[in-house]
Structure 1
Amino acid sequence: MAAFPAVLQSEWTKVRSVRSTVWTLAVTFLIVVAMGFALSLVIKLNYDQFTEHNTTPFDATATSLSGISLGELAIVVFGVLAVGNEYSSGMIRVSLAAVPQRGVLMGAKTAVLGALAFAVSLVTVFAAFFLGQVALGKYNTGLGEPNVLRAVFGAACYLTLLCLFSVGVTMMLRNQVLSLGILIPFFFLVSPILAIIPVVKTWVRYFPDQAGRTALEVFPTSDHPYGPWTGLLICAAWTAAALLGGYLVLKKRDA
């Protein structure tokens, strides 16, 4: 039986050796930080116009983390490519020959990708938060204010869960093009559009992205019947289901 630490090392080597996965993580950082800083600066310069019709307090934290709306795209692509490259290149056969215990392989892959996504996400959201607060000037907030640290940390958890959800979906589909063709339209077209349709929006609130984003809110909105931690748990449940599906496909089908 392959030793789990050795399999972890192997999976870490795979991730580092694929240039596209490294670039997608770098893009995640740049998009989230740059977009959050830019929007924070724009709002500072036009604060009265942006807030004159607000019915809730100004959320300086959400403003600095606004780049996550596009950063999701990069982290989803990272999760898909990190798994899909192995199938498209045929390296999955080599991996299964070296580690025939498919649960061990799946566990190591999930652990490495999850840890890497969380580490990058954590650095990204804290950098975006602090730079965004600098840009906001006198309208800023601090980590010591109620719910702010939870929102920033929740943002990192949310991005990590999206990455692992994408890993699970790609393991089930075994094709990176098909996975991207489903995940990107779902998160950036289907879910946002359905969320504004009265007939179905009650159910859409339980989609992984809609639920997970509640963790970013400092001031809860009335649109969600659950709190931020419950939203993260819903997102985590979707992620666990996707990873379970990926494992079952890996276990039952040949490479």
Structure 2
Amino acid sequence: MSLSSPPSASSASSASSASFRSSGSAGFSGTPGSPGSAGAFLGDVLRSEWTKFRSIRSIVYVLAVAFLVAGLYAFLFGTANGRAYAAAPAAERTSFDPAASAFRGLMLVQLLVGAMGALVVTSEYASGTMRTSAVVVPRRERLVIGKAVLTALVMLGCGPLLVLVSVLVSQAALASQGAPALALTDPGVPWMIVGGGLYMTAIGLYGVAMGFLLRRSAGAVSLGSFLLLLPAMAPLFPEGVARWVLTYWPTSAGGRVLALDPPIPDALSPAAGFAVLAGTVLVLLVAASALFRSRDV
């Protein structure tokens, strides 16, 4: 399945039209600035966005594939790391990190989460319904907020589940090879699941921002994935640049919420690292909203 393939124009148009009808004309006729109108209007936008989210199959498929990939890569990394542990000398086994098996798989899953966030936006550009959405919601920043809030709510529910799948499968694979494995009750593991869910939520919002900035699925997913994986290319950079990327690049910094080990020298704390990621995503969303308001749909 190609992540850049848009839904058919007819299905997306039907979903958009149906979602606006289901919200009711009264919900969209409130005068901006009148008491209570902003909250009611945003509620209508959220209901409309939820209908479109469920109706556009490519978005649902990408999220479903994210769960499959989380389990598959957790099994593969857990099995490979378990075999490496069994073959390692006793001196090297003391530094074995069971959490790494779950963490590595999630770094690939994030690409699908970012793609899902981008498709929330670019699917409407591809089908031509974004123009209709901009007419129905004349204050465009509310449309950006609606898509961002919906994506955040979806990922706040699905993000921790993705991390939980990765942890359970990877640790079961490690245990099957006789390697040390984590239990859900071990210190730090519940926070890793919660923190990982917050990380995935931020990546979904990052995808929304890239969708508004680039407007095309291929561009938003390709460039978005490249930027997410940039820390993996750090060995190619000069030492000073590589150290900066591994410490302060948003995905490197934000990934600290998945770490169970104590902070290493010069590394950000989990809270500080996530603040870097969240701040970057917020800046991108503000820039996306400003650009969306200033240019033609």
Q: Is the TM value for this pair above 0.5?
A: yes
Write the mapping of 1:1-255 to structure 2, written as runs, cut at 5 A. 1=30, 3-49=41-87, 54=92, 57-137=95-175, 139-188=180-229, 190-194=230-234, 197=237, 198-204=239-245, 205-220=247-262, 222=264, 224-255=266-297
Distance in 2 separating the partners of 1:41 and 1:165: 31
TM-score in terms of structure 2 length: 0.78
Aligned residues of 1:214 and 1:220 also touching (Cα < 8 A):
no
Q: 1:219 to 1:55 in 2, by over 3 A?
A: farther
Equivalent residue letter for 2:256: T
Deviation at 1:221, TM superposition (A): 5.4
SS in 1 for 2:240: coil
Deviation at 1:56, TM superposition (A): 6.7
What 5-or-longer segments of structure 1 have no aligned partner? none
TM-score in terms of structure 1 length: 0.90
Hey, which bits of structure 1, 4+ residues long, moved more than 6 A?
Answer: none
Aligned residues of 2:106 and 2:166 also touching (Cα < 8 A):
no
Distance in 2 separating the partners of 1:18 and 1:196: 39
Larger Rg: 2
Aligned residues of 1:32 and 1:65 also touching (Cα < 8 A):
no
Q: 1:180 to 1:134 in 2, by over 3 A?
A: closer
Q: 1:111 to 1:54 in 2, by over 3 A?
A: farther
Distance in 2 separating the partners of 1:223 and 1:182: 31
Equivalent residue letter for 1:184: S
Equivalent residue letter for 1:215: V
The number of residue pairs the alignment matches comes to: 254
Distance in 2 separating the partners of 1:73 and 1:162: 8
Q: Which moved more, 1:210-219 or 1:43-52?
A: 43-52
Distance in 1 separating the partners of 2:103 and 2:231: 20
Equivalent residue letter for 1:185: F
Q: Percent identity?
A: 28
Q: Which has the higher contact order (CA 8 A, sep 6+)?
A: 1
Distance in 2 separating the partners of 1:63 and 1:23: 25
Q: 1:46 to 1:185 in 2, by over 3 A?
A: closer
Deviation at 1:192, TM superposition (A): 2.0
Distance in 2 separating the partners of 1:6 and 1:221: 44
Deviation at 1:74, TM superposition (A): 0.9
